[in-house]
Amino acid sequence: MTVEILERDCGVPIRDLDGGEIAYDIHLRRVFLRTRLADRDDRDHMIARAWEPHPDRPGALDLPSRLLGRQWCRPGTLDCASCPLTEVCPKDVERASQAVSA
């Protein structure tokens, strides 16, 4: 995530972003599980799934996942009605119920 912030927000040129992985944090875990981007709460599985839609830079999914997780896809109080993914998200709340902060 730090590499993504340096490159995206600070304009620091990074030579090789290949291999940049996602941050396996609570927001990404909850969003990936509820949207069914991931089948299970497993670090390696989620990293592999992030490579599928974004093979050049899976780490680019960190910020959107964090924003979704903090604003709409919160642990207790969901705001699915105003979420930008509401039309495509299956809203699988139960799937993410076991994902808790470590």
State residue 76's pLDDT score: 82
User: Does any domain span residue 96?
Assistant: no
In the predicted model, is pLDDT for residue 6 greater than 70? no
User: Does any domain span residue 101?
Assistant: no
Residue 7 near residue 48, CB atoms below 8 Å:
no
pLDDT tens, residue by residue, 54-72: 887 788 888 899 999 999 9
In the predicted model, is pLDDT for residue 18 greater than 60? no
User: What is the pTM for the complete model shown?
Assistant: 0.78
User: Does any domain span residue 44?
Assistant: yes
Angle, alpha carbons 99-101-102 (nearest 5°): 110
CATH number at residue 26: 1.10.1670
User: Does any domain span residue 99?
Assistant: no
User: Does any domain span residue 41?
Assistant: yes
What total of structural domains would you count in the chain?
Answer: 1
Instruction: Print the domain residue range for 47.
Output: 2-84
User: Does any domain span residue 89?
Assistant: no
